[in-house]
Amino acid sequence: MKYLKPRFLNQGEGALVVEFGDEVDPAINARVISLDTILRELALPGLRETTPSFRSLLVYYEPIDINRRELIKKIEEIINLLFPPLILEQEIDKDGGVTKFHIDYSADSNLDSVLSDLEDGHNDKACHDTLKDISNRLFKLRKMLEAYRELDKDARYIIVENFNSNNEEIGYDEGQY
């Protein structure tokens, strides 16, 4: 099962496990791979190596350069941007029965939902608000990774839709910023 919140487990003095669930699941693995990729890009001082598995990420670090608490705080910040904790809600029906359900506000689940809605012809305020929220979270993450560059308002831009196996553009949409 996917945990509501990842668990942080000590693995000796210089290693930490970030566990997202207790089973082999593609959704859990996607979170592991996402966190692994972002941590590698961040190149935090003291971060030595990461080793992903199906359900967790082993993070090796140098305790002299970054302490465990700081490392966990940075990892939680990244996780909360992309995968906010599931929210448990309850609904009481007219017969007094209680239905519990989780609301998943993660960027990947929300984006899948919006794309499905758009394919079905639903293009409403909820879709736009969700896309804006995902965009804002990704922007914050890009700033954290220092990957955001100011755009020149007079420059043209190209949105690349797809690449073939030789990294050649297949299609693009050109616009004015």
Q: Is residue 69 part of a domain?
A: yes
Which of the four pLDDT bands, split at 50, 70 and 90, describes residue 125?
Answer: confident
**Which domain range does residue 9 map to?**
2-82
Q: How far apart are the first and last CA of the chain?
A: 44
Top-confidence residue, 138 or 19: 19
Contacts of 161-165 with C-beta under 8 Å, sequence gap 24+, read: none
Q: Is residue 103 part of a domain?
A: no
Q: Of 9-18, 28-37, 115-124, give the lowest mean pLDDT range.
A: 115-124
pLDDT of residue 9: 96
Q: Is residue 133 part of a domain?
A: no
- C-beta separation of 58 from 50 below 8 A: yes
Q: Is residue 73 part of a domain?
A: yes
Share of the chain above pLDDT 70, in %: 68
Residue 98 structure tokens: 């209680």
Q: Is residue 37 part of a domain?
A: yes
Mean predicted confidence (pLDDT) in 7-17:
95
Mean pLDDT rounded to a whole number for the chain: 76
Q: How many domains does the structure of the chain reveal? A: 1
pLDDT of residue 65: 93
Residue 170: is its pLDDT beyond 50?
no
Output the pTM of the full model. Answer: 0.59
Which of the four pLDDT bands, split at 50, 70 and 90, describes residue 50?
Answer: very high
pLDDT of residue 133: 77
Helix/strand/coil for 131: helix
Q: Is residue 55 part of a domain?
A: yes
Q: Is residue 106 part of a domain?
A: no
Q: Is residue 32 part of a domain?
A: yes
pLDDT of residue 175: 46
Mean predicted confidence (pLDDT) in 88-94:
74
The CATH number for 10's domain is 3.30.1360.40
Top-confidence residue, 111 or 49: 49
Mean predicted confidence (pLDDT) in 1-29:
89
